[in-house]
Structure 1
Amino acid sequence: MSTSGPTSFAEYELPSPPQDPVSALAFNPNHSADKARQLLVSSWDRLVRFYDLTGSTDTNSVRLLKTFQHDAPVLDVCWINDGLAASGGVDRRVRLLNLETGQSRIIGKHNQAVSRLRFSPATGLLLTGSWDRTIKIWDPFNVESGQALLKTLEMPDKVLAMDLSPPFPSAPMDARSVSASANGATVEPDRTPRAVIAMTGRTVHIYELNRIKETLERVKKGEEVEEKDFEPDQRRESSLKFMLRDVKCMPAGDGYATSSVEGRIAVELFDPTPESQSKKYAFKCHRQNVDGIDTVYPVNCMSFHPVHGTFASLGGDAVCSIWDAAAKKRIRQYPRLPSPLSASCFSSDGAVLAIASGAENIEDTRHQGPGAGEVGEVGRGGEGNVRIHIKPAWEDCKPKLKTSA
């Protein structure tokens, strides 16, 4: 990956966006020049859209390559490789999407909606989380045998969010660690593949996926294993007091961030030692004064920059902010977008940030004025108000390093 900034461009929007809110955005994790700008978009309008933004500098140069129809709203989509993706949603089915042919195939299902999907290139495992309080582990390359489902893990609560660490496994880890100092110092990256699962009861489970993979290999060989072999390596209670909305892992592999409905973000480290745990912290964000009242908005999504290690937070206030987790400060706040924000992602080359606006709004019918019905003059989201904004990200997301006196 180049460490020099890619060519900039003017912000633009994707053509013909979904009619209903976007549930997830996912750029191809392959950071090669011809793959890094390929984008998957899942939506409540029952479609997954496959775009190619390579070389695009405006709306007219974007190519919509494929669309995949589902039977109900799609809640998440993830890449498996350049030609294959996985999706799931309210219809409970787990689908494999052939990005070359445009065909999809159901490989199994949950008992309730599939809320999150993540694929681990390091282990070859596909993880799906559901409101049915389970995580299912699949082999997406063993579908023909009818044995794609490898294991079902019981969870204590509904799965709301899930992410894998490191989130950009195929790219060089140039990002600063949260445990680094704010002057840009680096630490040795942690490439241990982990899954971080956040649930409705503010519970967070952390699994080391190499251990899970080894246990599954023992099962395949006919060796005896116990259920404790599939237990999480760490069980944590969220540092945030209210329901979690998102969890995202840091590019350096040393930790993760969680966000909540109550306008807060917590930054956590995997290392359970007291020294490392003393570095975790939480902070308030996405709040504004409306008619003299401190109005709090949910932090619906976060995304980490693959190189700089900074991250974006997106709120119900229609604002996207960029944060330096190591320096513990905000480095940029973009102008308010038309309506509440629902999803975002950075391209794996670090050049592009995609943001979806049009999430459902916090409404207050007592609010008077031109924006009646919307708190803080935030525009209406929902059907017909969805947009996908493409922003240049390299320079905007660079940490502001301290200079010596």
Structure 2
Amino acid sequence: MNANNPYKQPTSNVEINQPPSDSVSELAFSSKANYLAASSWDNEDGGKVVSGGADKAGRMIDLATGQTSQIAQHDGPIRCIKFVEAENSSPILATAGWDKMLKYWDLRQQAPIGTVTLPERAYAMDCINPLLVVATAERKVLVFDMANPTTPFETTESPLKWQTRTVSCFTKKDGYAIGSIEGRVGLQYIDPKVKDKSFSFKCHRDTSTPLRSTVYAVNSIAHHPVYGTFATSSNDGSFIFWDKDAKQKLKAHDKLDGPVITATFSGDGKLFAYAIGYDWSQGYTGNTSAVKNTIMLHAVADDEVKPKAR
């Protein structure tokens, strides 16, 4: 292993300076500029705008003043946090937690402006207004139309048989992708007229050993904001770009020497940020000094993410 490139990064990729000192849990680009926020298990605030944590509180940092204020409260750890407001409206924040609650917050008020009791603990959430999707324990999925944010438009079960790890809304707002620990992704359409287009597929599996397949969790699904294609990231140390409409793989990048825990595209789709670190699948004993926590930036080429001509 090259000591200067311990994770076998493509030479065109750039490592973020001063990454969190512990595993990164989530990455998010600003929708207005190429500002990247990272949340981590190291309790640092870094450059985050809003964050939710195991202390049951949601907090916001004013980047201009550096001041932190509490803007949300749950009775259990907050697992998911997203801005869900429409363009040019008041900033509305959605939080979902292990207390089985989804809450909406107007940042000008202390109390939530809406609450929803979830069937189980929240595991993943995504929103592209007016579509919001919350995935919980026991494979439950709730779909909301933000015109009626406190009543689920649809409550269903994941098409995948094992625990949900991630969910991501289609850029056309007509469905969502869901990933699980079993190395599968489900593409689900919401409109009853096209629900029969929904399908699931296997990915991030090692089949190099005859009669034996090693299955890796799908940690993250991120949709490209321009082309609507998507990327999956996994514990197998890889990220792959896919075209759901053509049902084909666009680009499989070389595997890295560490789990890819989370990833996201920039608002213009030209950058792909991904975090490598320990995934805690082996408990605390697996978190050794050999594990490096880092964030990388990959310059996205059109031929990696643009649907191919049919």
Shared fold (TM-score greater than 0.5)? yes
* Residue 202 of structure 2, aligned match among 263, 284, 292: 284
Q: How many residues align?
A: 294
CA drift at 1:336: 1.0
Runs of 4+ with deviation above 4 angstroms: 361-364, 380-384
> Alpha-carbon deviation of 1:325?
0.8
Q: Which one of 45, 49, 71 corresponds to residue 48 of structure 1?
A: 45
- Distance in 2, matches of 1:362 and 1:317, equals 12
Give me the whole-angstrom Cα distance separating, in 2, the residues matched to 1:307 and 1:12: 22
- Tell me, in whole angstroms, the C-alpha distance in 2 between the residues paired with 1:394 and 1:91: 40
* Cα distance, 1:101 vs structure 2: 1.6
Q: Which residue of 1 aligns with 2:293?
A: 386
Find the counterpart in structure 1 of residue 4 from structure 2: none
Counterpart of 1:211 in 2: which secondary structure?
Answer: coil
Structure 2 residue 151 is the aligned partner of structure 1 residue 211: no
| Aligned 1:1-400 pairs, distance under 5 A | 10-30=12-32, 35=33, 37-50=34-47, 85-122=49-86, 124-140=91-107, 142-143=108-109, 146-147=110-111, 149-166=112-129, 193-212=130-149, 230-271=150-191, 273=192, 275-289=193-207, 291-292=209-210, 293-360=212-279, 362=281, 384-395=291-302, 396-400=304-308
Mapped contact 1:19–1:383 kept (Cα < 8 A): no
- Structure 2 vs 1, CA of residues 159 and 354 (structure 1 numbering), >3 Å: closer, same or farther? same
Cα distance change, pair 383–345 in 1 and its aligned pair in 2 (3 A): farther
* Counterpart Cα distance in 1 of 2:238 and 2:218: 10
Q: How far 1:270 moved relative to its partner?
A: 1.6
Q: CA deviation at 1:251?
A: 1.1
Cα-Cα RMSD: 2.1
TM-score, normalising length: structure 2: 0.89
The offset of 1:383, in angstroms, is 8.1
Shift of 1:231: 2.4
Deviation per residue, 1:239-266 (Å, 9 max, x gap): 1011100000011111110000000000
Gap regions ≥5 residues in structure 1? 1-8, 51-76, 78-84, 167-192, 213-229, 365-372, 375-379
Indicate how the Cα distance of structure 1 residues 383 and 88 shifts in structure 2: closer, same or farther if over 3 A, else same: farther
Confirm or deny: 8 A CA contact 1:21 1:383 kept in the other structure: no
**AA at the equivalent of 1:352:** L
Between Structure 1 and Structure 2, whose CA radius of gyration is higher?
1
For residues 165-200 of structure 1, the C-alpha deviation after alignment (integer angstroms, 9 at most, x for no partner) is 25xxxxxxxxxxxxxxxxxxxxxxxxxx02101000
In structure 1, give the amino acid aligned to 2:178: T
Q: Distance in 1 between matches of 2:79 and 2:288?
A: 21
- Where does the alignment leave 5 or more consecutive residues of structure 2 unmatched? 1-10
TM superposition shift of 1:308: 1.1
- CA positional deviation for 1:11: 1.2
Distance (whole Å) between structure 2 residues aligned to residue 281 and residue 310 of structure 1? 15
CA-CA distance at 1:387 after TM superposition:
1.3
Three-state SS of the structure 2 residue aligned to 1:112 is: coil
Q: Displacement of 1:136 after TM fit?
A: 1.0
Q: Distance in 2 between matches of 1:307 and 1:381?
A: 39
CA contact (8 A) 1:361 1:381 kept: no
- The alpha carbon displacement at 1:125 in A equals 2.0
Alpha-carbon distance between aligned partners in 2 of 1:29 and 1:257, rounded to the nearest angstrom: 20
Change in 2 beyond 3 A, CA 1:108/1:331: closer
SS in 2 for 1:247: strand
Structure 1 residues 48 and 393 mapped into 2: Cα distance closer, same or farther (>3 Å)? Answer: farther
Verify the 8 A CA contact 1:159 1:199 in the aligned structure 2: yes
CA deviations 1:196-234 (Å, max 9, x no partner) are: 01000111111111223xxxxxxxxxxxxxxxxx32111
Deviations 1:12-59 (A, max 9, x none): 1101211211011110111xxxx2x11101101112322xxxxxxxxx
Q: Is the 8 A contact 2:84 2:127 kept in 1?
A: yes
**What is the TM-score normalised by the length of structure 1?**
0.69
Give the percent of matched residue pairs that are identical in Structure 1 and Structure 2: 33
